[in-house]
Amino acid sequence: MKTSFPRQDIRVLLLEGVSPSAVETFQRAGYSQIERHPGALPPEELKSRIAEAHILGIRSRTQLSADVLQSARRLIAVGCFCIGTNQVDLDAARALGIPVFNAPYSNTRSVAELVIAEAIMLLRGIPQKNMLCHRGGWTKSAAGSYEARGKTLGVIGYGHIGTQVGVLAESLGMQVIFHDIEAKLALGNARAVAHLGELLERADVVTLHVPETPATRLMIGVEELARMRPGALLINASRGSVVDIDALADALRRGHLAGAAIDVFPVEPKGNDEPFVSPLIGMDNVILTPHVGGSTQEAQDNIGIEVASKLVRYSDNGSTLSAVNFPEVSLPEHPRSRRLLHIHRNVPGVLSRINELFSSGNINIDAQFLQTDAEVGYVVIDVAADETQAAALKDRLAAIPGTLRARVLY
């Protein structure tokens, strides 16, 4: 397997309409083999395409399972051009020596703005009024229409997005309560509640901002919906797996909830040419959006630059800073040395074999960096060697038992 290349030989595959700003970032760094697809690929095509790619960029729809990743023989890194990384089997990627990067803040504000807009629209009953006007009807009435001021917003998951939503909601005069599994600094006048049930019982508007994890799967089901106040509103711009969508449809049909705004679904179309199917279709009091919480020009431009820069930095320099599944190493430049990267299973004996290789060969090490986690070790070695010597060293490193990936940087 060839794992060391000049930049112009590195193949970058960008799926799901990743922003052109990513392409420009790669090009500016000297990468020329960049392929960009507007949608996600079906599993079999994905497998055959990533077998040839060295760097892969995806958004939320591409499922990188352990099985798919097995096909990625040449892959050196994955970039999730979004916040969520639940679509990637991160452990499987790590076990193959593939770091995964994301953009943890670039679309935070976009999601928060949409959520606040939806809260106001739902409180005013605008979705129903809008639909009726489209059908030639007219409901000029204040019934069921409320100001946001003075209402209680319940934020579930008080992280980057949840806190932004809270700050914006307070500026409208809303009272903010939140529930999180971690102890969180409450911003402004926001208050943590004792447990999820209390939040559901007190909030006029409940908004979800948790990641997809085993614990958040179906965290809002029949019982939780029943605990919400009659006439309350639910907003979900987190992940579709978090809400029992059939139970939600039932609560809306029965009038227990007055409305909902849903951006994420248990099953989402792979691209804009696939049909969207949901039990919520046809409900006038529900705002349905096609997973666009983070889809603004500003967010996508920033994400493109941020994630592509991280991938370029890893590819050119070996830095794994802010990788979500990998030992993090922030590396200086290496202007006068060849840099060798060695990723291995963190088992006894590998490091001594590496050091032995250099000492027995009488090779001068300019600098060495090491970071490990429970499963993976990442060693970076700068040596005074010419290109041929460095390539030979890389081959000998790759032959050490336990090696996952070995690379020499140009």
Ligand X SMILES: O=C(O)CCC(=O)C(=O)O
Site string for ligand NAI, 148-167 (x = CB under 6 A): --------xxxxxxx-----
Residue number with CB closer to ligand X (303 or 380): 303
Mark the segment that binds ligand NAI (CB under 6 A) among 20-28, 179-187, 279-287, 355-363. Answer: 179-187
Active site residue 239: yes
Q: Per rule CB under 6 A, is residue 304 in the interface with ligand NAI?
A: no
Q: Does 190 bind ligand NAI (CB under 6 A)?
A: no
**Residue with smallest beta-carbon separation from ligand NAI:** 159
Tell me how far, at minimum, the Cβ of 61 lies from ligand X, in Å.
Answer: 7
Q: Which of 109, 209, 291, 339 is the catalytic position?
A: 291
Q: Pick between residue 84 and residue 266 the one whose CB is nearest to ligand X.
A: 84
> Does position 182 bind ligand NAI by CB under 6 A?
yes
Contacts of 213 (CB under 8 A, 6+ apart): 86
* Part in contact with ligand NAI (CB under 6 A); list of ranges 38-46, 175-183, 222-230, 402-410: 175-183
The nearest distance, CB 88 to ligand X, in angstroms, is: 12
For residue 335, give both structure tokens: 């202007």
**Active-site residue 35, yes or no?**
no
**Interface with ligand X (CB under 6 A):** 59-60, 82-84, 107, 294-295
Residue closer to ligand NAI, measured from CB, 75 or 169: 169
Please identify, using beta-carbon distances, which residue of 41 and 383 lies nearer to ligand X: 41
From the list 103-111, 278-286, 359-367, 393-401, the region that binds ligand NAI by CB under 6 A is: 103-111
- Contacts with ligand NAI, residue ranges (CB under 6 A): 83-84, 107-108, 111, 156-162, 179-182, 209-213, 215-216, 237-239, 263-264, 291, 293-294
The residues assigned a catalytic role are: 239, 268, 291
